[in-house]
Chain A
Amino acid sequence: MQVTSPVREPLVTGGKTYKDITHDVSRQVEGKPSVSWLIGMAVALGVLLLGSIALVATLWEGIGMWGLNKTVGWAWDITNFVWWVGIGHAGTLISAVLLLFRQKWRTSINRAAEAMTIFAVICAAMFPVIHMGRPWLGAYWALPLPNTFGSLWVNFNSPLLWDVFAISTYFSVSLVFWYIGLIPDFATIRDRATGIRKSIYGALSMGWDGAAKTWMRYEAVSLILAGLATPLVLSVHTIVSFDFATSVIPGWHTTIFPPYFVAGAIFSGFAMVLTLMIITRHVFGLKDYITMGHIELMNIVIIITGSIVGIAYITEFFIAWYSGVEAEQYAFVNRMFGPYWWAYWSMMTCNVISPQLFWFKKIRTSIAATFILSIVVNIGMWFERFVIIVTSLHRDFLPSSWVMFYPTLSDVGIYLFTFGLFSTLFLLFAKFFPVINMAEVKSVLKSSSEPKVNNYNGKR
């Protein structure tokens, strides 16, 4: 027997019944697309089309189209790659880590957050693939296949190869985890639908019938997948940080990178979840499911991870000074006061100062403030990667090679392309898939929802 605690905030407000949940979530899938959705889709496709010009140009001409040079061999491509992968991390954190910790509030946001993970990882994976220059030959360089001249294999000592394995495993395991969760909800939609929709959702639901035995196995699978995805998500950004940390470039060669990157990833990911959720709950009228309580909890995660990131910046700086290595010291002074000072200070303002505003209850329970700050955080996190990558490379050991990096239209265009791709995929998901995990919300409804009639003299 479950008991409702009067102390806890209800997770589902508005006195919803099981039927209301089915109706409120399925309605989005069943109805005609709304005007706001159509406008959103038109904008997303426009951006996608615009960006694909840059993409096709780069594939046709080669990566000489980018602003890279001999000194700065990595810039926007890897910045965007790390940025998108980082965003993806929040989805797995919500669906896997919070499942292991039995955090019931994850139930109404995990579906959309995981969708975000999958789409963000697709966007991220595009950058290393395009950077190969001739991606159609990429399989020989990235997968353990012998090359055409003999059995020369890929180098398993390279963090870049570890990345191939980490990102592809992360993508496929997240996809499977997400899909398993979707099956019962597809069945719900199937049983409400008629005609062609019934057969489409019937195939998607794989013949789910909700038998107790299947639910038992489903729960076992979810738990094990969560247990597997938790170390997996930590490993992914750890390995991404190895791309830098295992090199000898000043500003990159630090052992703090793995935890610092993981915290930063969760920080930016939660910010993106908030951006998307605030829009979704507004457009689809899901305010009783994604409540102020959810937003506040996510803001608290942002304070924590934002503070970890802030401490990491300061620690990095201290260690650079304390190490006594001149090149290392110069790299950090150059970040702060060199030609890219504006990027460094944008990063510090957006990532270290702005999340601290969430200590004020007024700010962390304000939709407008949360929405603005969530975007500010992601701008800051983009600058973080840009600062780490470009400022460390542009002035290294040989002063005669010092240069500046300037992005070209192709750099900007491909970044735009990923925005278009991400928005298109997310909008398609929001229209055709149930955005809230109905089955899981139903399973916490009895213990954590607001009663229809207020029994506590107007207070809970």
Chain B
Amino acid sequence: MERDKNFVLGIYDDEDVLLSAVTKVRESGVKIHEVYSPYPVHGLEHNLGYRRSRLPIAAFLFGLLGTTLALTMQFYMMKYDWPLNIGGKDHAPIPNFIPVTFELTVLLAAFGMVAVFLISSNLKPWAQPRLFDLRSTDDKHVMAIDLVYNSAIERDRIVEVLKSSGASEINNKTFE
């Protein structure tokens, strides 16, 4: 058998059962491939042991880029390239540059972060998702366990662990 092809799925109806099930399954030594949910379940990423997302850092860096670009652009255009005499006022009035600087900071932070999110999560219009169970976008939580990755543990043992953790259904899923 090949890895990443053969799965056993535990289907859960309730988010709280799922949360404790994730802990139980991991404690029994079974490695979870991924959990698919119709809505965000708070604490699930923690129970699965995922590292905190670093997207906020991406947002900050893109925001910083926006601030720098905006200030550079305004100083260059207003003070160096073509200084305009507007009622004898300062060519580089910093307070007047704040609104555009703020807007560009927000714009780049938002767009940059969202771009990183889409790329890192492989979200694109032509993406063909691998769906384990269609009900995972409706009303069921689906826990996928890779059989080959867990080959040290027998399939029956995995099924037993899933059952005792509160799974309402246990299915097999094989991808071509």
A113 at the interface (CB under 8 A from B): no
A209 lies within 8 A of B86 (CB): no
Whether B149 is near chain A, meaning CB under 8 Å from some CB there, is no
Given A156-B74, A157-B86, the answer on whether A206 and B118 have CB atoms closer than 8 Å is yes
Report the minimum CB–CB distance from A229 to chain B (whole Å). 8
Chain B positions 34-70 with a Cβ under 8 Å from a chain A Cβ: 34-42, 44-45, 48, 50, 53, 55-56, 59
| Cβ contacts B112-133/A at 8 Å (1 or 0 each) | 0110011011111111111100
Instruction: Kindly list chain A residues whose C-beta atoms are within 8 Å of the C-beta of B48.
Output: 212
Query: Is A228's CB within 8 Å of the partner chain B?
Result: yes
B93 → A minimal CB distance (Å): 6
User: Closest approach, in angstroms, between the C-beta of B83 and any C-beta of chain A?
Assistant: 10
A188-B138, A210-B136 are contacts. A216–B45 as well, Cβ < 8 Å?
yes
Of all chain B residues, which has the CB nearest A238? B99
Does chain B have a CB within 8 A of A180?
yes
- The residues of A that contact B77 with a CB separation of less than 8 Å are 144, 153-154, 156
Identify the closest chain B residue to A165 (Cβ): B103
**Considering the chains assembled together, what is the distance between the CA atoms of A29 and B139 in angstroms?**
18
Contact A187 B137 (CB under 8 A): yes
Contact B102–A442 (Cβ < 8 Å): no
Q: A207-B122, A221-B113, A228-B109 are in contact. Are A235 and B99 (CB under 8 A)?
A: yes
- Kindly identify, within residues 170 to 221 of chain A, every residue whose CB is under 8 Å from any CB belonging to chain B: 172-173, 176-177, 180, 183-184, 187-188, 190-192, 203-204, 206-221
| Residue A281 is within 8 A (CB to CB) of chain B in the complex | no
Q: At the interface, yes or no: B107 with Cβ under 8 Å from chain A? A: yes
Whether A204 pairs with B125 at a CB distance below 8 angstroms is yes
Check if A209 sits within 8 Å of B131, measured CB to CB: yes
Contacts of A363 in B (CB 8 A): none
A17 CB within 8 Å of chain B: yes
B59 touches A232 (CB 8 A): no
Q: How large is the interface on A (under 10, 10 to 19, 20 to 34, 35 or more residues)?
A: 35 or more
Name the distance in Å between B155's Cβ and chain A's nearest Cβ. 23
Contacts of B124 in A (CB 8 A): 206-207
Within 8 A of B (CB), among A220-238: 220-221, 224-225, 228-229, 231-232, 235
A209 touches B40 (CB 8 A): no
Quick check: is A24 within 8 A (CB to CB) of the other chain? no
In contact, B16 and A443 (Cβ under 8 angstroms) = no
Pair A157/B39 contact, Cβ less than 8 Å: no
Given the complex, which residues of A lie within 8 Å of B109, measured CB to CB?
224, 228
Q: Is the CB of B106 within 8 A of A228?
A: yes
- Considering the chains assembled together, what is the distance between the CA atoms of A19 and B121 in angstroms? 26
Nearest first, the 9 closest Cβ-Cβ pairs linking A and B are A207-B127, A18-B139, A162-B99, A442-B39, A206-B123, A153-B77, A216-B45, A220-B53, A207-B129
Q: Mind listing 25 A-B residue pairs with CB under 8 Å?
A: A155-B84, A156-B100, A157-B86, A157-B89, A162-B99, A169-B103, A169-B106, A173-B111, A180-B117, A206-B123, A207-B122, A207-B124, A207-B128, A209-B131, A212-B45, A212-B48, A214-B121, A215-B37, A216-B53, A221-B113, A224-B55, A231-B106, A439-B39, A442-B38, A443-B41
Q: Contact residues of A with B, CB < 8 Å?
A: 1-2, 17-19, 22, 144, 150-157, 159, 161-162, 165-166, 169, 172-173, 176-177, 180, 183-184, 187-188, 190-192, 203-204, 206-221, 224-225, 228-229, 231-232, 235, 239, 242, 438-440, 442-443, 446
Q: B residues touching A (Cβ–Cβ < 8 Å)? A: 14-16, 34-42, 44-45, 48, 50, 53, 55-56, 59, 73-74, 77-78, 81-82, 84, 86, 89, 93, 96-97, 99-100, 102-104, 106-107, 109-111, 113-114, 117-118, 120-131, 134, 136-139
Apart from A166-B99, A188-B138, A224-B109, list 9 A-B contacts with CB within 8 A: A17-B139, A157-B89, A184-B38, A213-B121, A214-B121, A219-B40, A221-B117, A232-B106, A442-B139
